[in-house]
């Protein structure tokens, strides 16, 4: 009997965890979109007010933001600082591609960021600021969408995990 109770507990716990894990995707996507927005705002400041060089600015921002977002900035910064003949857009999109597994972003989010990379570093300050603001706007829209989706699915997956676990435990009992 005790074994059965322990087993059921394990089942409920695991399934709840699976539910939380499934819900995490939605939470993290929204969080990463926000992180990219704050990183881009900082990049805007670096470009507009400090005229920092792109590789330096990328490394600095990446270091302080951390997480998957930070890694994208750091990898791009390192590629550029190495002067290995990458163009900015190549370095940026290769970083996005390479770190895909660590990011929770959806295809459409990555596409916005990739397009942003094509313009990065290649025009004067006004141009750069314009592209950054445009990208910020698009990311913000995506974030809002992500929030709506999150609200819908987060609770669902969490309850599904818990309830599914309980159901399974009852059946097996």
In the complex, minimum distance from the CB of residue 44 to other proteins, in angstroms, rounded to a whole number: 11
Q: Exactly one of 2, 3, 49, 51 binds other proteins (CB under 8 A); which one?
A: 51
Buried b (16+ CB within 10 A) or exposed e, 80-102: beeeeeeebbebbbebbeebeee
7 binds other proteins (CB under 8 A): no
State the Cα–Cα distance between residues 138 and 116, nearest whole angstrom. 10
In the complex, minimum distance from the CB of residue 125 to other proteins, in angstroms, rounded to a whole number: 5
**Of the candidates 29, 30, 38, the residue with the CA atom closest to the CA atom of residue 102:** 29
CB 164 within 8 A of CB 19: yes
State the Cα–Cα distance between residues 124 and 93, nearest whole angstrom. 21
123 binds other proteins (CB under 8 A): yes
Binding mask 73-112 for other proteins (x = CB under 8 A): -------x--xxx-xx------------------------
If the CB atoms of residues 14 and 123 are measured against other proteins, the closer one turns out to be 123
In the complex, minimum distance from the CB of residue 50 to other proteins, in angstroms, rounded to a whole number: 9
Burial class of residue 26, CB neighbours in 10 A (0-12, 13-18, 19+): buried
Binding mask 124-153 for other proteins (x = CB under 8 A): xx-xx-------------------------
If the CB atoms of residues 53 and 99 are measured against other proteins, the closer one turns out to be 53
**Of the candidates 21, 25, 162, the residue with the CA atom closest to the CA atom of residue 103:** 25
What residues line the site for other proteins (CB under 8 A)? 47, 51-55, 80, 83-85, 87-88, 120-125, 127-128
């Amino acid at each position: 009997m005790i074994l059965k109770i322990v087993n059921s507990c394990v089942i409920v716990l695991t399934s709840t965890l699976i539910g939380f894990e499934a819900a995490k995707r939605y939470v993290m996507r929204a969080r990463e979109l926000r992180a990219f927005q704050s990183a881009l705002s900082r990049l805007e400041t670096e470009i507009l007010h400090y005229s920092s060089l792109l590789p330096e600015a990328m490394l600095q921002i990446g270091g302080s933001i951390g997480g998957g977002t930070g890694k994208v900035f750091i990898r791009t910064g390192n590629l550029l600082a190495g002067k290995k003949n990458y163009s900015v857009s190549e370095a940026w999109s290769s970083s996005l591609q390479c770190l895909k597994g660590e990011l929770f972003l959806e295809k459409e989010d990555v596409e916005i960021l990739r397009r942003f990379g094509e313009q990065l570093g290649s025009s004067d300050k006004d141009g750069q600021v314009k592209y950054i603001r445009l990208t910020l706007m698009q990311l913000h829209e995506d974030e809002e969408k992500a929030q709506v989706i999150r609200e819908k699915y987060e609770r669902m997956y969490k309850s599904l995990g818990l309830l599914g676990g309980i159901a399974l435990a009852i059946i097996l009992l």
